[in-house]
């Protein structure tokens, strides 16, 4: 058993994003990686050797063989609920990569399983924790913008065909979804987190250049309950490399744009009234090595505090569900050509 201060972590899914989890866990005193799992044996073995822990190719075997307190689920998106439910039923807390599921029914099943088992469910939304985004959130919470008129999120990234060909699940409806569900889900999440509930959405999506089932490009117009209008623009076809991941808020008393490749640079910051936070703008900027940013480490620090009973979760299962519902609303609108009201009817 743990001592209430330190916790043993197991991880399932040793693909592209797992390195961010491994690095964050290693840096935090109080968290210890104890086992890894991946259906691709070579990948599991490589991670096991790299981190000096046992490796497995099946989650049930890992859960049975190695005691742990927390299971990180970093498998294909469509498998997150099944793997999270297995971990919860084995009495482990669950950390799910985004999105927590690709349907509301499976998301709700995961939340229910964690509730029934009395374990925490965390959904990784690390970009919320970028210093730039935290500064923006604080300005919003202080009311510095006054009324928000418009919110824009733009994701102009590049994902070549080779990226999708690396794994058969990528770009499929069953296991992944497209640019909105996978690559841009953090931006969908941040817009609804910052500006508040969405009343309705109208969207167009297209698969223009990649050989995948889901979309590589799309745009959505949001009507927020507050009356504000939002625009989401997403493509994975930017030539020749990632161009930007940005958020802009326009209000009656303030205008902020955070850009860079992954909301890592404050490009415009102007308010009617001064606040001491204005002195922090330059120091908040960063230059992350990838579009994933630096947010996984602070995310795990919050997880550790929650497990120690010292904090509330930054993003739990119910918070993770909100952005999933908005993405599914975008997909429904693109499919039907209609304005889709939220919340969606349970299916």
> Cβ of 208: how many Cβ atoms within 10 Å?
11
Percentage of the chain beyond pLDDT 90 is 92
Tens of pLDDT, residues 42-85: 999 999 999 999 999 999 999 999 999 999 999 999 999 999 99
Backbone angles phi, psi at 50, to 5 degrees: -60, -40
Which tokens go with 143?
């009311």
Of the CATH numbers 3.10.580.10, 2.40.70.10, 3.30.365.10, 3.40.50.720, which one belongs to the domain with range 7-123?
3.40.50.720
The per-residue pLDDT for 295 is 77
The per-residue pLDDT for 292 is 57
| Strand order from edge to edge, sheet including 70-73 | 55-56, 31-37, 7-12, 70-73, 93-96, 121-123
Tens of pLDDT, residues 245-267: 999 999 999 999 999 988 999 99
Domain ranges of the chain: 7-123, 128-289+323-341
The per-residue pLDDT for 126 is 86
Confidence (pTM): 0.94
Tell me the CATH architecture of domain 128-289+323-341. 2-Layer Sandwich (3.30)
Size of the chain in residues: 347
Average pLDDT over residues 186-206: 97
């Amino acid at each position: 058993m743990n001592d209430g201060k330190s916790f043993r972590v197991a991880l399932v899914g040793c693909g592209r994003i797992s390195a961010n989890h491994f690095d964050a866990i290693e840096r935090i005193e109080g968290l210890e990686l104890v086992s890894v799992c991946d259906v691709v044996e070579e990948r599991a073995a490589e991670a096991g050797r790299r981190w000096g822990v046992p490796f497995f190719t099946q989650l049930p075997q890992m859960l049975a063989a190695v005691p742990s307190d927390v299971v990180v689920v970093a498998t294909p998106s469509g498998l997150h609920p099944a793997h999270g439910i297995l971990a919860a039923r084995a009495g482990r807390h669950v950390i799910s990569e985004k999105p927590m599921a690709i349907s509301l029914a499976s998301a709700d099943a995961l939340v229910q399983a964690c509730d029934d088992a009395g374990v925490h469910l965390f959904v990784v939304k690390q970009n919320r924790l970028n210093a730039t985004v935290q500064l923006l959130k604080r300005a919003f919470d202080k009311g510095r913008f006054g009324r928000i008129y418009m919110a824009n999120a733009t994701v102009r990234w590049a994902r070549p065909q080779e990226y999708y060909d690396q794994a058969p699940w990528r770009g499929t409806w069953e296991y992944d979804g497209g640019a909105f569900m996978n690559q841009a889900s953090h931006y969908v999440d941040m817009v609804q987190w910052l500006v508040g509930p969405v009343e309705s959405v109208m969207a167009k999506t297209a698969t223009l250049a990649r050989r995948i089932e889901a979309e590589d490009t799309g745009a959505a117009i949001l009507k927020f309950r507050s009356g504000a209008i939002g625009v989401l623009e997403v493509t994975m076809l930017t030539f020749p490399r990632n161009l930007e991941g940005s958020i802009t808020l326009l209000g009656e008393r303030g205008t902020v744009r955070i850009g860079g490749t992954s909301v890592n640079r404050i490009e415009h910051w102007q308010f009617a009234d001064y606040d001491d936070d204005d002195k922090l703008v330059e120091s908040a900027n960063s230059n992350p090595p990838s579009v994933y940013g630096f947010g996984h480490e602070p995310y795990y620090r919050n997880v550790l505090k929650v497990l120690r009973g010292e904090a509330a979760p930054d993003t739990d299962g119910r918070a993770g569900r909100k952005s999933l519902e908005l993405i599914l609303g975008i997909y429904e609108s693109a499919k039907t050509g209609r304005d889709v009201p939220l919340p969606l009817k349970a299916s």
